[in-house]
Chains A and B, each alone.
Chain A
């Protein structure tokens, strides 16, 4: 999603496990409670099954369908043709490009966000609160608007290009290039990297760093051996939060990209909106991208993050 607020990483201390020795009455009470819990959750569960799980299934079903001469989807003639096309050189190029851009975006975000978050976390509490609010404001601003800002800036007679020309750097073309898309993605998702990093660094026990320095470690060593490993969960959380939407990006490449910057998201969209009209193929692509996301998300959960 475009904006997410990661909640604090807290473990429940409310024990809801049923009592070990149950007399008949207690067991009935448990069962009643259990049933109640299920009923409370039922409407949401049913809604999600109807409007999330079923659509997911439909996409999978469509990925095996065929396409008529005129571009309509035909739900007979089941086949694996769409999946076969996933190994097309064009698809592979676009997938590779998406991977490349997403990874680069994540790295750049990390490089920019880490020193920033570190600085933030070592300020006195009052200043920290103010700075945090200042970070949140662009974060909660409309994602499309923030991407549009770069469309405006990077244009031929846009302020950014003219600034460069004033300094003597001519002929820089960022709009409609993969670099332009990456700038837009970094700008859009930077707050997703800042916030988890900040959360992790803020929780850091500074006495550990002090201890390291006491033991004659240099500033750099203290950072590398103490701070960095302890902030790893934040790094991982931030990286996943930036990588996943960047990989499946659609809006940013549509606005800032041109020929040669097509990413998976826009490629999929084109199968449904636009002239291509190939729903089975688009569905197969969507399934593929979903599988990749699942793998990335599982990696995140394995690496220890329980809450996003």
Chain B
């Protein structure tokens, strides 16, 4: 008679205390409220004064309707989904690599996506943002292909996904190579430097409903496998051997989750450029306030990431209005200050 194989569910059952679950629900409600407040705030922050924006809300005319519902709202909704995708990708990456410093761009995905976008822009000679559906799909497709190519090369270079240190090192090498290729391509097209500079610093300026819808669809596609495999990530925290002894197939788990990271990162990068720190900081924001399973982390990190990028978008259009700051620079400032505070507190407590 064979012994019953241990199930992952048995392993994580200990986490399901009801007090923690109530705490998590309250936390979720708080972040949803923050998101709604930021969405409301983004409707009244733009190139007009706040009083003017409020008067538009209550007595709209043709132009103010365009500004509110075709520019400001899709922009903040799109920023939320892009941030959510980066938060989700960051949460998964930190789980897969069991490393709190892991982030979505780790395996060369961002550099690969940037290379893909550069190639497609050179080929089509069109704009980032402000494109019709086909253009949005084309750009995201190019970013996806670039990111997939980067991650495939990374996996090939590290000869599989089993050894995380090798995978990380390969990712760094591929990222450098892809960045170098992008720079070389741009040298032949100097007029594209500024466009690419904006892409590399991130911009939410031209997110319309087509971009926002695309980001929403990709987010839903990514969330499903993330939820299904979240328990596998819980098991992985105990080490590869233990996870395997619990019946997990490590290669398929890692490949699927890395696929989700790639898709999520590529979609976000394709629409808003390379916005740093959101994917790194969002999971930390969750862990700082809660003790969570990976399923909860992968629900919480997108909420934090989305709100973070919404806040950054709000600041980027408010600080020097009617001009704009690159949203990536704003997230780097917010994220950088947050990490410094985190380190300072850790040192103080030690």
Q: Do A and B bind each other?
A: no
- What residues of chain B have their CB less than 8 Å away from a CB belonging to chain A? none
